[in-house]
Amino acid sequence: MKPFEYERAADAAGAIATLTREAPRAMYLGGGTNLVDLMKLGVAAPELLIDVSHLPHDRIEPLADGGLRIGAAVSNSALAADRTVRARYPMLAQALLAGASGQLRNLATVGGNLLQRTRCSYFTDVSKPCNKREPGSGCPARDGDHRNLAILGHSEACVATHPSDMAVALVAIGSLVHVEGPGGARTIPLPGLHRLPGAAPQRDTVLEPGDLITAVELPPLPLAARSRYRKVRDRASYAFAVTSIAAALELDDDGTVRDSRIAFGGLSHVPWRALAAEEELRGLPATEASFARAADAELAHAQPLRDNGFKVPLARNLLVRTLAELAAEQGARA
Amino acid sequence: MSATVAGGRAIGTPTDRIEGREKVTGAARYAFEHAPENAAYAWIVQSPVAKGEIHSVDGSAALERPGVIAVVSVENAPRLAAVEEAELHVLQSRTISYRGQIVAVVVADSLEAAREAAAHVRVDYREQEHHVLLDEHDPAIYDPGRVNAGYPADSILGDVDAALAQAAAQVDVVYRTPAFHNNAMEPHATVASWDGDELTLYDSNQGASRVRDVIADVFELAPEQVRVISPHVGGAFGSKGTPRPHVVLAALAARMTQRPVKLAVTRQQMFAFTGYRTPTIQRLRLGAGADGRLTAIVHEAIHQSSRLREFTEQTTIATRQMYAAPNRRSTHRLARLDVPTPSWMRAPGETPGMYGLESAIDELAVELGIDPVELRIRNEPELDPERGVPFSSRNLVACLRLGAERFGWEERDPTPAVRRDGRWLVGTGVAASTYPAYRSPATATARANADGTFVVRIAGSDIGTGGRTALTLIAADALERPLERVRVEIGDSALPRAGLAGGSMATASWGTAVTFACRALLEQLQEHDGTVPAEGLEAFADSTDDVRATDQGYSRHAYGAQFAEVRVDADTGEARVSRLLGIFAAGRIINPKTARSQFIGGMTMGISMALLEESVMDREFGDYLNHDLAGYHIAAHADIGALEADWIEEDDAHLNPMGSKGIGEIGIVGTAAAVGNAVHHATGVRVRELPLRLDRLLAST
């Protein structure tokens, strides 16, 4: 294997300074559940790893406005088990538990989970071309194996999907990503961290060299207490989503939709916030017909490839069923 | 043939795996854990082209890396003798026959150095256009004459065309199965060391004698010059039945570097050169009268093999004995493609073939409006329908009846797509299982020690099945001694020669030799008035004559019936097996505890095959692209619902001294059909291609 140096960061400022100086040969290391695999496969070949998993970003703190601040080094297991998250953002806890395996969730961090790379089989095989891995080398997935790749927002250069479950829930919640970088601290609202592939699929996010995710902030979002995450996958556990949905629904007393939050996983290069569907739903009666109308509004621009057209009806059914279940729960409660 | 079936006390007693404690505490050592002094490590370099010629191999840059000892390729490899398995003629030719073929091996002081240097071996290819997809219209498809296990490719009786034309009910369907890869927990591994012209191999395999013989041939040595040691094997399923090319490479590298060499195959490499189950395309035509009695059975299967070796899966042979019908045709055809060489995978032939046949039988039942259990019972043959000889024992009907009763089949409404449980569509399905009862010659010794203990030696192999424990039970009964006083030694080619743990024949074959050796020892003991002299007593037995004298006037098979309950999500097409029951009839069960594990293990693999597993061929590059356990889905715990296996004890005097049939493979046979038939019952849609993926079911719900 390729030799590399390992450095355990003492503080965020030092880590950022080192990475900014050493980029692109240096990379941050969180839980390592994705990066170390990519290093074994030869997909990633950092010469210097800066371990940020021990930085004091390991707490989940309530905020004055009723929101929640989650340190970037908090493990996926700890976040899924957090009582506040489970009570007030159930779709986030459910999304976390739908991902990977118990062992991986114990290691994986919140920051690292957001920055996971696609599992497209061409990306992970260095003996084949891939524009994301080697810009300009081509995209064999477009005509090759793409059953589980994108139907929304893909480009000639790349049809990859983002693999995270957690990110789908965070995008639905409209979380804020806290970033510190060479230019200081800033926040990036979700969606907004991940980018569509366009002509530069090698860039998964808008982060610049040296940027370090330090926390994710959940806004106080009362309707998130009535939310769920549902993941469709080939294998009943330990498999990436074929399609997933994070959804929250709030009804008015007359049974019409006051507000909703909807995001899809497995459909795009980014965790896909379904803003068109949310917009369509507002004020409509909470019926399956309305939910189907909303799904169609969102999926009207889907561009399925040869072998993944099934994701369009799948996403539609998933949206209709999930919102219908949320509506039924609220009907029962009222 | 032994006319009597022994009736000891150990056989039939549920017994813990003898080496269980060693395994769960980590004390059991597997092949790669052996570390001879001064060992070097080898890393394999594979071809990135699927068809072509090697123009040149330049190892100079790799050799400059720290710790690198050698780069071996067609440019400098010593000549090896050609053997029947062409994959073993490794580094001998410049021709590339498939993507992932071995083109070089790097040997270094450490695994890391070897792996790193492998990336610096420069191989120039003259690439040619490849052809890697199996297609029933391929004009190059041919009749291979014979198929795996020696069966004739074609078997034709009567006039099927006339019978089909006159049949009251007909089914004419095409079923497809994808390529499947064995993924044992322990990947293939070999540690090779030479002492002069003597070669020692720590190796993970299904039979040390076979590996020794083949490797001796490759290196033109006498068998006594090769010793193969494999006390523990972490799964095999057929893929370790014959030595794969890495065994030759390890020995070759060790000889060239004058160092012991350790070579472990990676999970990804297992998708290239350790064998797999061919994809199949099967056309089935059934004709029956209104009473459900079959008048014609046609089963025609197409397979692939590599350019290197003709290997034809025996897909339609089970069809030759399953059901009565006067007119019958079963055939095998083969396409040679630029793909890796297929090989054995749990129940080669029966597994894909019974998926096709048992699905078609279910289609006929629906067509006729006859219950599928009843339809099978109506077509139960009196004699083997093609050989015309009696069955040594056959309890398919009893398995179907007992299974139906246990499963609650009687209340089943045959109407498809009418049962809902919330968002789930629910259905049930049935299929039959079968596997031949083979036997091969073996030798064994049995020794009595003066301290009252006994040692039985045979070059058998325990690939995780409980084979060592079963042999110990057999030996204890044959010696008429308690289990605690008997030790069985296996997993070493220095022990008396024996065949493979394959074809579900290990216990039957080795058990015969062990029984004979133990009986001979008892006779010796009698001659010594029951007193063991200080130096002990030892008896040897060879079952060759007994096996050769097997009465060909019987058809010998195990049978079973599997009942599945499947739930299909109406919104997403996700199919899950909530319940699976298997009832088997496989002679006498030696160790009920490990036998149950074998049955449910096979059934679990069958669920995995039905719903999840598929090796996806990359048309552009020519390899199986989902080559790891993230991409190649094997059932996880969450995929397995209520799983139950039970059996009907058979008393069959025409088998072997134990009266046993093999149980290692029958569990997987028929599972996929039972699941697919249940999916049809749940949804009303017949998916004729595996796996039963959600995208294939989504449109139907």
Instruction: Examine the residue annotation and report whether B489 is marked as an active-site residue of this protein.
Output: no
Among B673, B666, B669, residue whose Cα is nearest residue B688 = B673
B66 interfaces chain A, CB cutoff of 8 Å? no
- Do A236 and B576 count as a contact with CB atoms less than 8 A apart? yes
DSSP B481: -
Q: What is the mean pLDDT of residues B421-443?
A: 97
Tell the CATH topology of A5-49: 3.30.43
CB burial string A133-148: b at 16+ within 10 A, e below: beeeeebbbbebbbbb
- Residue in the structure block whose two tokens are 């190059």: B140
Question: What distance in Å separates residue B139's CA from the closest CA in chain A?
Answer: 25
Which residue is associated with the tokens 């629904």? A249
CB contact under 8 A, A314 and B630: no
Cβ–Cβ < 8 Å for B434, B557: yes
Q: Strand, coil or helix: what is A232?
A: strand
Intervals of chain A under pLDDT 50 = 334
Q: Inter-axis angle of helices B671-683 and B350-368, to 10 degrees?
A: 30
Is the pLDDT at B229 greater than 70? The verdict is yes
- pLDDT tens for B476-528 read 999 999 999 999 999 999 999 999 999 999 999 999 999 999 999 999 999 99
Q: Cα(B352)–Cα(B355) distance, rounded to whole angstroms?
A: 5
- The whole-angstrom separation of Cα B140 and Cα B85 is 22
The structural domains of chain B, ordered by start, are 20-29+440-548 (3.30.365.10), 37-129+185-235+240-273 (3.30.365.10), 148-180+276-437+553-698 (3.30.365.10)
The domain A222-333 is placed in CATH, from the list 3.30.390.50, 3.90.600.10, 1.10.1740.10, 3.30.420.10, at: 3.30.390.50
Give the per-residue pLDDT at B3.
36
pLDDT band of B1, cuts 50, 70, 90: very low
**Structure tokens of B405?**
């009763």
Q: Are strands A184-189 and A227-232 parallel, antiparallel or unpaired?
A: unpaired
Work out the pLDDT band at B532, boundaries 50, 70, 90.
very high
Of B240, B232, B234, B199, the residue nearest B218 (C-alpha): B199
What would the pLDDT profile of B617-641 be if each residue is shown by its tens digit?
A: 999 999 999 999 999 999 999 999 9
Q: Which of B489, B538, B665, B689 is catalytic?
A: B665
The confidence score (pLDDT) of residue B700 equals 54
**Contact: B636, A321; criterion CB under 8 Å:** no
Tell me, yes or no, if B527 comes closer than 8 A to chain A by beta carbon.
Answer: no
Q: Contact B639/A236, CB-based, under 8 Å?
A: yes
Reduced 3-state DSSP string for B483-517: HHHEEEECCECCCCCCCCCCCCCHHHHHHHHHHHH
Average pLDDT, chain B: 97
CA distance B647 to B350: 20
Q: What percent of chain B has pLDDT over 70?
A: 99
Token pair, residue A43, equals 């997909």
Of A225, A244, A226, nearest to A234 by C-alpha is: A244
| Residue A174, token pair as written in the block | 């409209």
Checking if the pLDDT of B327 tops 90, the result is yes
CB interface of A with B, residues 109-168, below 8 Å: 119, 121-122, 125, 127-128, 140, 143-145, 147
DSSP assignments along A40-78, one per residue: HHTS---SEEEE-TTSS---EEE-TTS-EEEETT-BHHH
Cβ contact A218:A291 at 8 Å: no
Would you state the pLDDT for residue A29?
Answer: 97
Please tell me the predicted confidence (pLDDT) of residue B5.
47
Quote the tokens at residue A55. Answer: 């930085």
For the four alpha carbons of B113, B114, B119 and B120, in that order, the dihedral sign comes to positive
Strand partners, B152: B146
How many Cα atoms occupy the beta-carbon half-sphere of B160 within 13 Å? Answer: 20
CA distance A121 to chain B (A): 7
Indicate the residue of A125, A145, A318 with minimum beta-carbon distance to B571.
A318
Q: Is B646 on the interface with A (CB under 8 A)?
A: no
- The pLDDT of residue A332 is 62
Q: Judge if the upstream peptide bond of residue A24 is cis by omega within 30 degrees of 0.
A: yes
User: What pLDDT digit, counting tens, does each position of B375-425 carry?
Assistant: 999 999 999 999 999 999 999 999 999 999 999 999 999 999 999 999 999
Residues forming a β-bridge with A278: none
Q: Which of B573, B611, B625 is the closest to A145 by Cβ? A: B625
Helices (H), chain A: 12-22, 35-41, 76-81, 83-88, 90-98, 102-107, 110-114, 166-173, 275-281, 288-299, 311-333
Q: Is A106 on the interface with B (CB under 8 A)?
A: no
Residue with tokens 């995710």: A213
Q: Which residues of B touch A316 (CB under 8 A)?
A: none
**Helix, strand, or coil here: B55?**
strand
Question: Rounded to the nearest 5 degrees, what angle is found at the Cα of A294, between the Cα atoms of A291 and A296?
Answer: 110
Tokens of B466: 């409980």
Question: Do A5-49 and A222-333 share a fold?
Answer: no
Residue of A nearest to B620 (CA): A144
Q: Residue A216, Cβ neighbours under 10 Å: how many?
A: 30
CB atoms under 10 Å from CB of A45, counted, come to: 13
Report d(CA A18, CA A182) in Å as an integer. 10
Give the CA distances from residue A16 to residues A7, A50, A71, B256, in Å, rounded to whole numbers and listed in that order: 12, 9, 17, 50
Amino acid at B437: A
If 0-12 CB within 10 Å is exposed, 13-18 middle and 19+ buried, where does residue B260 land? buried
Residues B265 and A235: their CA atoms lie apart, in Å, by 26
**Closest CA of chain B from A115, distance in Å:** 19
* B422 CB within 8 Å of a chain A CB: no
Please spell the DSSP secondary structure of A81-93, one letter per residue: H-HHHHHH-HHHH
CB contact under 8 A, A144 and B635: no
Nearest CA in chain B to A311: B695
Q: How close B515 comes to chain A (CA, Å)?
A: 45
Q: The complex's ipTM? A: 0.96
d(Cα B321, Cα B317) in Å, to the nearest integer? 8
Q: Distance between CA atoms of B490 and A217, rounded to whole angstroms?
A: 61
- The alpha carbon of residue B470 is apart from the nearest alpha carbon of chain A, in Å, by 34
| Token pair of B111 as six digits | 């695994």
Question: Which tokens sit at A44?
Answer: 């990633």
Q: Which DSSP category does B531 fall into?
A: P
CB A218 within 8 A of CB A68: yes
Question: Does any CB of chain A come closer than 8 Å to the CB of residue B618?
Answer: yes
User: Omega into B14 within 30° of 0, i.e. cis?
Assistant: no
The type of residue at B473 is: L
Q: Which residues of A touch B112 (CB under 8 A)?
A: 1
A256 inside 8 A of chain B by CB = no
Q: What three-state secondary structure class fits B331?
A: strand
Dihedral over Cα of B618, B624, B628, B633: its sign? positive
- pLDDT recorded at residue A3: 85
Per CB-CB distance under 8 Å, the chain A contacts of B627 are: 125
**Cα–Cα distances in angstroms (integers) from residue A164 to residues A168, A175, A273, B429, B476, in the given order:** 7, 15, 14, 36, 56
| Contact by Cβ (8 Å): A166, A92 | yes
pLDDT, residue A1, reads: 63
CA distance B179 to B622: 13
If contacts are CB pairs under 8 Å, which of residues 96-135 in chain B contact chain A? 112, 115-116, 119
What's the mean pLDDT in B537-563?
98
Contact status of B639 with chain A (Cβ, < 8 Å)? yes
**All structural domains of chain A with their residue ranges:** 5-49, 222-333
Token pair in block for residue B164: 């089909």
Token output for B633: 């889905």
Q: How far apart are CA A229 and CA A325, in angstroms?
A: 11
- The SS3 assignment for B98 reads coil
pLDDT at B4 exceeding the cut of 60: no
Query: CB neighbours (10 Å) of residue B72?
Result: 23
Q: What is the pLDDT of residues B202-222, one digit of tens each?
A: 999 999 999 999 999 999 999
State percent of chain B over pLDDT 90. Answer: 98
Residues B177-202 pLDDT 10s: 999 999 999 999 999 999 999 999 99
